[in-house]
Chain A
Amino acid sequence: MKKRFAVLGVVAAATLALAGCTDSAAPSATTEAPAADGGGELTKVRVAALPIAETGALWAAIDEGIFEAHGLDVEVVPAQGGAQAIPALLSGDIDFAIGQPMGPIRAALQDLGVVIISNYASSIADGTDVNSVVASAASGISSPADLAGKRVSVNSIGAAGDLTIRKAVDDAGGDSSTIEFVEVAFPDVQAQLEAGNIDAGWVPDPFRGLIVGAGGTDVISPYQATIPGLTVLTNFTTQEFLDSEPETVAAYVEAMAEAQDFAMANEDLVRAAIAKNLEIPEAAANAITLPVFTSDLNGAGIPELAELAVQYEYIDAVPDLKKLVQPQV
C-alpha cells in the first residue's frame, strides 16, 4: 500500500514537473513552413559555422526563409573551429563551411581540394573595426610599437590574427620577432589580462567592449592597419562537392548573397538573432560591431594575406589561387 502511494506520488510529481518545463530548442513561432511552390522538395545542406556573432547574418536569413526560397533546407552545425570544420568537410559530413581564410589556404597547399566560393564577412576599412588588440591600463602599452617584447594572445596561432599583428607592429617601427604569441580563447582574455599573465590580447566584440569598458586600452585594429577590409570569414566547400552538385552550390551562393544584403539592411534582426542564438543579453548584442556582410571576394584581401603569410614564413609558398578561390557569384 505504502509502495503504491509512493509510486503514485512520484508519477504525480513528474507530471507536474513536465507541465512546468520549458523547451529552449523548440522552433520559434516565426519560422515559416517550407515553401511548396516550384517543385516542392528542399535540398538538405549542412553548414558548419562557429557559434560567434558573425553567424548572426546566417541565423537571421534562415529565420526569414531566404534559404528555403532558394530550395535549401539549411542545418547549421556549430563547429568548434577550423580544425573540426575542414576534416568534416573533407569527410563529406558537412557540405559548406564558414571560416577564416587561413584554413583553406593551408589546405590548398596540401592539395586537399578546399575551394572558397564566396565571401561571408569582411572587416571594416574605416572607423571602428570588428576586432582589436587590447591591453590593460597597467601595462603601459598605448601604441603598436609598444607590443614588441610583450606577451600577446590570439585565439589561434598561425592564423590572420597574429600575422596581421606582426605586420602592424613592424609598420609602426617595433620589432615583431620579439613578440611572444600565446593562445588564449577570447572569453579568457579579460581574466588573463587582469592576472597579468598576458600583456595584450586580440579580441572581437563583445569581449573587446568588456575589456575597454573595464579600463583597458584599444591599442590597434590589426586587420584595418595592414589589409583594410580584410575578409574575416569566407564560404568554402570541396572541389568534389562543387563538381558533383553545381546547382546546390549555385543556389547556396545566391541565397547567401541575398542573406548578406538582407543582413546589411536589417541590422536589428541580425542583432536579435545573435542575442537569441548565443544566449547573451540584448544590450551586449547591441554593442557588437558587426562586420560588412558581403559575397564579394575582390576586395577581400586573400592574395595579400597569402603573401603576408609567406613573408612571415607561416607558409612556404602562395597557393594556386585560381584553384583555391573560385567565386560562384
Chain B
Amino acid sequence: MTTASAIGAPARARRRGRGASAARKAGLGALGIVLFLAGWQLLAITRVLPPSSLPSATDTLATLGGMLQDLEFWRNVGRTMTAWAIGLAIATVLGVVLGGFVGLIPVLRRATHTTVEFLRPIPSVALIPLAILAFGIQLQAALVIIVFASFWQVFVQVLYGVADIDTVARDTARSYGLSGAERLRWLVLPTALPYLMTGLRLAASVALILAITAEMTIGNPGLGRVIFQAYNIGNITTVYAIVIVTGLLGLVVNLVFRFIERRALAWHQSVRGEEAL
C-alpha cells in the first residue's frame, strides 16, 4: 500500500504541475486578449485615428454581439464555410492525384516543372473576370478562385513528398519483392503523408482567405459580401466585427487541421518525439 501511494504521489504531482502550467498558459492568453482590447479602446477614445476609420472596441463588440443573434449572419458563415469546404476538397483531390502522378514519374516531373513554376505564382484573384464570364455571380465562380490557389499548395507538397522516398527503404522494398500497390501503401504513402498534411493545412488557410476575397469581389453570398456592402455604406463597425469573425474562423480552421495532422501522423517520428514522456 505504501509503495503504491509512494509511486502514485510523484505522478499525481506531475499531473498537478501540468494542470497548473496549462491553467497559467490559458490565463496569460486571456490577459493578452484583454490587453489588446484595452489598447484598441484607448486608441479609439483618444482619437489617434478618426472614428470613421477606427471604431471603438466596445462598439465593435456590441455590433458583433448583435450579429451573433442574427440567423442571417450564421447563414452567411455557413455559405462562406461551404465554399471553403468544397473548394478545399476539390483542390485536395486534384492535388493528391496530379501531384502523386507527376511525382512518381520522373519524366513527367521534369517536363511539367517550368509550366508549374509559371502557373503557380498567378494570383488567383486575377482570374476573377474570367470566372464571372464563365459562371456569373455564383458559387462556381468563387470555387474557381479558391481551387486555383489551394491546389498548388497541395500539389507541390505531394510532389516533393512522393519524391522524398528513403533510398534504403526503397531498396529494401525491391529486395523483398513488393508489388506496385504494396509499395504505394507501405513506401510512398508513409513518406508523402507528412508533406500532404502540411499542404492540407496551408491549403485550408489559403482557401479561407480566397473564399472571403471571392465574396468581396465577385459578390456571391457570404461574409465577404457583407463586409463589402457594409463598407460601401460607411458602416465600418460591421466591417471590423466581421473581420474579427474571419480571424476567429481562421483560428478554428488552423486548430482543426493541427488536430487532424497530429492524429494522422501519430506514428511519425516528429509527433512521437514531442509526446515522449
Contacts and interface: CB of A to CB of B under 8 A. Distances in A.
Interface string B229-251: 11111111000000000000000
Interface residues of B, number: 32
A80 interface: yes
B136 A51 contact: no
A26 B72 CA distance: 8
A191 interface: yes
Nearest to B217: A80
A23 B69 CA distance: 8
Interface in A143-194: 185-187, 190-191, 194
Given A25-B71, A79-B137, A91 B50 contact: no
Q: Interface on chain B toward A: helix, strand, loop, or mixed SS?
A: helix
Given A84-B218, A93-B135, A22 B71 contact: yes
A78 B221 CA distance: 9
Contacts, number: 86
A48 B136 CA distance: 11
Contact of A207 (B133, B217, B230, B234): B234
Contacts of A190: 52
B142 to A, nearest CB: 12
Given A23-B71, A80-B217, A280 B134 contact: no
A22 B50 contact: no
Contacts of B52: 190-191
Interface in B118-142: 129, 132-138
Given A21-B70, A210-B234, 11 more contacts: A22-B71, A23-B71, A23-B72, A24-B72, A48-B137, A78-B225, A78-B229, A84-B137, A84-B218, A94-B136, A278-B233
Interface of A: 17, 20-26, 48, 51-52, 77-80, 83-84, 87-88, 90-94, 185-187, 190-191, 194, 206-207, 210, 278-280
Interface of B: 50, 52-53, 69-75, 129, 132-138, 216-219, 225, 228-236
